A and B are shown apart, each in its own frame.
Chain A
Amino acid sequence: MTLRTSKQVGEWVNRNKKISFTFEGEQFTAFEGDTISSALWAADQKVLGRSFKYHRPRGVLSLANHDVNVLMTDGVDTNIRADVVEVKDGMVLTAVNTTGGVKKDKSSYIDSISPLLPVGFYYKAFHTPRRFFPFWEKVIRNAAGLGIVNFDYPRILKRKQHSHCDVLVIGAGPTGLTAAYEAAQAGLEVTLIDENRQVGGSLTYDRGGEAAATKQLNELLIKVANQSNIKMLTGTYAAGYYPDHLIPVVSEGGINKVRAKTVIVTSGAFEQPPVFRYNDLPGVMLGSAAQRLIYRYGVKPFNNGIVVTANDYGYRVALDLLEAGTKVVAVVDLRKGTNTSGPAITLAKRGIKIYAGYCVYEALAASDKSSVRGAVLCEYDNVANVALTKNKVTLECDGIAMSAGWAPAGALLYQAGTGMQFDNSVQQFVPSRLPDGIFAAGKVNGIFDLEQRLQDGKRAANEALRYLGLEAPQITVARPVGQPTDLSCPSHPYPMVPHEKGKNFVDFDEDIQIKDFVNAAKEGFDNIELMKRFTTVGMGPSQGKHSNMNAIRILARIRDLPVEKIGTTTSRPFFHPTPIGHLGGRGFHAHRLTSLHDWHQANGAVFTDIGAWKRAAYYPANGQTKEQAIQAEAMAVRNAAGIIDGSSFGKIEIHGPDAAEFLERFFTGSYKTQKVGRCRYVMLLDDSGVIADDGIASRLADDLFYLSIGTSNAAAVYREMQRSQQMWQLDIGLVNVTGAFGAINIAGPSARAILSALTELDLSYESFPISSVRESHVAGVEARLIRVAFVSDVGYEMHIPMAHVPHVWNALLEAGKQHGLRPFGSDTQRLLRLEMGHPMPGVDTDGLTNPFEIGADWAIEMSKPYFIGQRSLQILAKRPLRKQLVPFVLAENFKGEMPMDCNLVVDGRAILGRVTSIAYSKFIDRCIGFAYVSPAKTAVGSTFEIRTDSGTLVKATVAATPFIQNQKGA
């Protein structure tokens, strides 16, 4: 049997192109343009998926991107939303969340034991008794989640782009089209987006049995098409609102971050279902879903249907059903009174029975529970909101269309900070205070009459124009004023029908019934945010688009409060589930290379990421392990000499007469007394006295310091310098030369001899002692030479223009051949500095370490009037230390399990500290390291225990540094 109708004007399917696909192993045909759901529904396939918790059969609900019980997989992708995703030829589809198929889902037994799974079941299961936690964890983990992640999913690039416009209109229904047109008419650059494949919104399906909507849509489309300054994006949703009108809009191709000068939200409203027993059966659907099936896809929702409504919209739905050839058995209206609206009169004239003041007490399921066979009607008490079950009427039907009201699609408005208030007249939350530059119109603004919506679109456009400084007349569009019981009210204040047997679903995503809310409230979860989390209402993939409003109404009823006192839950971006591939985009991983990178690569370096830089970590010879390579490089430095590419160090010049003053304020030490040609240690703290970075300040002139600092924090330090200078306004100039200058460090006993061959500078200890700086030439290249002792007591750091680094590097290697010079990498550098006994910020400190804890008191000049972090240090200095960094050694010839960085220092069950660095030094044949211990354990010779990953306790002894002997005359 097919439910395909005759061709509909404006339908989205191409009947000239047939395609075929399979669903659950069965072959189906479709027209090009069908969604998966519409194609299956046309073929009378009613069970399209299973519900999340009870595995109940489910069919079409909204056909508006919210049918989250109808998620499918094609074997590659999962959780495909069948209600909106276009079916493609050759697709092989199955429903997710079934055990053995959608028709005979073995997990459907859960439905029959649902009384054993009350709301909050899993919270309680985990809580008591605790010994069952692992059991429940296993059970619930197996049940949790939808679909199976495909770890072989192809990497398909989704671009993330930026665009800009004067006006962004979100939602291309009649209101949005009008707003876009009016704004464009004024010459503004307009971007108009809509999540649907085609624009038009309700005009594409809400026709009330007439052709006027189609004509109106065509007129609007022609007007919009003639405006070249309107960019229209379909199949695109606005995913969130971020400050300054930044809206990421998501389409299949990627994310476009739109920065708009002003935003008009015309996102419409979600139709809301009435709540009655078995309102979830396949064949029970929203009225607007029925209309979409008919007019977009040419599919009849059912053959003999009932419309249950609580507003006049249901009457329009009934007329559309008649147009599609459906026999409308009855219109059941929760409201009492004679309806004199046009559609009601037309229906009456066509002989349709109208049950005013009635409700559907329950839908009757067919024997296999997979479709509707009828409905039981009862009179409805609109005050007590209960069914009067004395005189039940049973009608046969194979489908039910539901129209109980609307909830605004206001997520973006909430995220933008809009004040929303509940308007009793329209029974809806509406904007009461809009942020600057944001405007709302149409149904989201509580305006439902079509002509009024068009006016409201124009009003919003005019307000946007005035916001942008243009002239535009003021237009007033008033929401209707009246009582919720008025027949003109678009939403029913409480469309709930209690039933003693339950299964009257409020949230289809999570199978939540009315009684679940009552029970949650009884347990004390009677605040909307708490209730949301306890019942999980609105926490499913549709995020409460069809359940939140009813949940708020139920809670208001339970607590006997007006709806506005209940409020709404927090709306957060993203509005709609967005694939991770979209969020990732191209994946920019900015990185910096030194001018020696190719040399390192050609010489077999293994690279490591330090900050933004790719640094050579070590150079393994053939067959060498990492550890062997590092030890070999370190031995070369200790016995001959080594060179390391230090081009990634941060390098900053501080010029000007106040340069020393600047350093005194910025760092902890003293610099005004520093002589030209000398270097001093610098340590940067943050305001709380925590160590941020360290380095060396070399004084090149009275008014020029050259600062070299760590690789990782260089950019942040420079930014902080700029920020400080903005406040201090000293007479200085800061020049960041990190990228302009490279650096090479030559270290080891032969370093002086090697370097002497390439420079005229007197390198003798007397002329060029440790902690001094000289400007000279190396291999013909202008260089700043700094006498450092970080990795060896004989070491020279050469800072030279980045482009000339390869030249100097090669010259050094050539000159050092006879001395056994070899390159070493940053991993080796870590071992070498450890041998020298130098802690490193970021390695041996963390985000809480202050200078006293690493014994750096010597680097602090507390008598200065001010430096960053000084005030905190003054406070910290009065407190006893809780931990202190100490150098340590393991036992001689230690052969046990080697402790690792971050292993704990323990004393019985007490944690005293942790290891920050540890390594085996071949040069001294000992395992050495740094660790935090309690202050009582810092004396040389004190012992403490380190707990390894396996739990073994390793004894360590506090040692003195440096671990190696200094060379005489270094």
Chain B
Amino acid sequence: MQVSNMKTISQTSPVAHAQLKSNAKWALVNGINTAVEFASAEVEQARKKILGVTDVSCLSRYGVKGAQAAKWLADRQVTTPANPNSWGVSDQNTLVLRLGGSEFVLEDQFAGSTCARLASDSTRVPNVYKVPRADASFILSGSEVLNMLSELCSLDLREKSLGAEEVIMTQIAGISAIVLRQDLSGEQVYRIWCDGTYGPYLWDVMVEIAVELGGGAVGLACYQS
């Protein structure tokens, strides 16, 4: 019987299919083959200022739901947002999204290990259900981001309507997605998560609009420094 080491099994970003035609530079990030550069740093910085679309699906995520999920996370030193449909930051800057009242999505930063730590705990606990995550995840940046989102989403995502700690579950370009606003190193960006199998579709749609509006694809490297 053939036995593989799970860590050696190559994985690819769920968005990769849409990026293959773009001559991107690829690198393994968190064990996932990811497009890290689409153009020169100068070009990507310019895109980022107008409308940058970045694939960050490679970030580690962990999902859990159930009536006891909040307690289960708290028992494992994860700080959860107090209110439904809001988000916060736990140790190691891990994002903790509370979807509704009893479902949570955690996303580590590049060097974070919270998700891996939680995943290693396979004990089944009543009213705590692991939700396997295979999201496509994106960062949208730049001055035209709301212009693009106005075409993709029927909700008001402006700062005055979407609070800094709010998470919304909505439809983006016709598919279910999670959206929030985030401050990344002083830059206001939007984060989007959707089912990974929709990732290539959403990437194509967003990059098409971004290019029309003067922006485009931005590699992950822009956010790695």
Contact = CB atoms under 8 A, between A and B. Distances in A.
B76 interface: no
Most chain B beta-carbon contacts within 10 A, residue among A595, A597, A738, A758? A595
A739 B17 contact: no
Contact of A593 (B2, B124, B175, B200): B200
Contacts of A777: 3
B20 interface: yes
Nearest to B32: A803
A160 B12 CA distance: 33
Given A592-B195, A802-B197, A811-B2, A162 B132 contact: no
A757 B17 contact: no
A806 B130 CA distance: 24
Contacts of B175: 590
Contacts of B4: 779-781, 807, 811
Interface in B149-184: 150-151, 153-156, 158, 161, 173-175
A655 B173 contact: no
Given A159-B151, A733-B65, A739-B197, A164 B161 contact: yes
Most chain A beta-carbon contacts within 10 A, residue among B133, B151, B161, B197? B197
B129 A733 contact: yes
B153 A162 contact: yes
Contacts of B124: 701, 704
B11 A804 contact: yes
A801 interface: yes
B41 interface: no
Interface in B20-76: 20, 32, 65-66
A590 B173 contact: yes
B120 interface: no
A227 B10 CA distance: 58
B207 to A, nearest CB: 13
Contacts of B174: 588, 590
A704 B130 CA distance: 12
A592 B198 contact: yes
A257 interface: yes
Contacts of A161: 150-151
B160 to A, nearest CB: 9
Contact of A259 (B20, B133, B156): B156
Contacts of A585: 151
B14 interface: yes
A802 B161 contact: no
A746 B47 CA distance: 46
A159 to B, nearest CB: 6
Nearest to B18: A593
Nearest to B212: A157
Contacts of A802: 14, 134, 196-197
B132 A160 contact: no
A591 B202 CA distance: 9
Contacts of B130: 735
A76 B2 CA distance: 64
A760 interface: yes
Given A160-B151, A588-B173, A807-B9, A815 B2 contact: yes
Most chain A beta-carbon contacts within 10 A, residue among B134, B156, B195, B212? B134
Interface in B172-225: 173-175, 195-201, 205, 208-209, 212
A257 B154 contact: yes
Contacts of B12: 595, 803, 806
A758 B2 CA distance: 5
Contacts of B116: none
Given A591-B201, A780-B9, A781-B9, A740 B133 contact: yes
Interface in A735-764: 735, 737-741, 756-760
A706 to B, nearest CB: 12
Contacts, number: 126
Contacts of B129: 653, 655-656, 733, 735
Interface in A580-629: 585-586, 588, 590-595, 597-598, 613
A163 interface: yes
B196 to A, nearest CB: 6
Contacts of A257: 154
Contacts of A801: 132, 134
Nearest to B200: A593
B153 A593 contact: no
B115 to A, nearest CB: 14
A739 B173 contact: no
A779 B2 contact: yes
A757 B2 contact: yes
A735 B32 CA distance: 25
A509 to B, nearest CB: 35
A780 B134 contact: no
B196 A597 contact: no
Nearest to B130: A735
A801 B32 CA distance: 14
A739 B155 CA distance: 25
A701 B20 CA distance: 41
A657 to B, nearest CB: 8
Contacts of A163: 150
B154 A592 contact: no
B61 to A, nearest CB: 11
A243 to B, nearest CB: 13
A653 B150 CA distance: 35
Interface string A785-815: 0000000000000000111101100010001
Contacts of A780: 2-6, 9
A162 B150 contact: yes
Nearest to B195: A739
Contacts of B212: 157
Contact of B1 (A259, A657, A704, A757): A757
Contact of A735 (B9, B126, B131, B161): B131
A598 B11 contact: no
A597 B19 CA distance: 13
Contacts of B173: 588, 590
Interface in A471-490: none
Contacts of A656: 126-127, 129
A777 B158 CA distance: 47
A694 B110 CA distance: 42
Interface string A657-673: 10000000000000000
Contacts of B66: 655, 733
B31 to A, nearest CB: 9
Nearest to B197: A592
Given A588-B173, A592-B201, A781-B9, A758 B1 contact: yes
Contacts of A701: 124
A740 B2 contact: no
Interface in A343-366: none
Most chain B beta-carbon contacts within 10 A, residue among A613, A731, A739, A780? A739
A735 B128 CA distance: 11
B151 A259 contact: no
Contacts of B16: 598
Most chain A beta-carbon contacts within 10 A, residue among B10, B132, B173? B132
A89 B129 CA distance: 67
A803 B200 contact: no
Interface of B: 1-6, 9-12, 14, 16-17, 20, 32, 65-66, 124, 126-127, 129-134, 150-151, 153-156, 158, 161, 173-175, 195-201, 205, 208-209, 212
29 contacts: A161-B150, A162-B153, A164-B161, A259-B154, A586-B209, A590-B173, A592-B195, A593-B197, A597-B200, A613-B197, A655-B66, A656-B127, A657-B126, A733-B65, A733-B129, A735-B132, A737-B132, A738-B195, A739-B195, A739-B197, A739-B198, A758-B1, A779-B2, A779-B4, A780-B4, A780-B9, A802-B197, A804-B9, A806-B12
8 interchain residue pairs of minimum CB distance: A780-B4, A739-B195, A740-B132, A592-B197, A733-B129, A164-B156, A740-B134, A161-B150
Given A162-B155, A738-B197, A739-B196, 11 more contacts: A161-B150, A586-B209, A590-B173, A591-B198, A613-B197, A657-B126, A733-B127, A760-B1, A781-B9, A806-B12, A811-B2
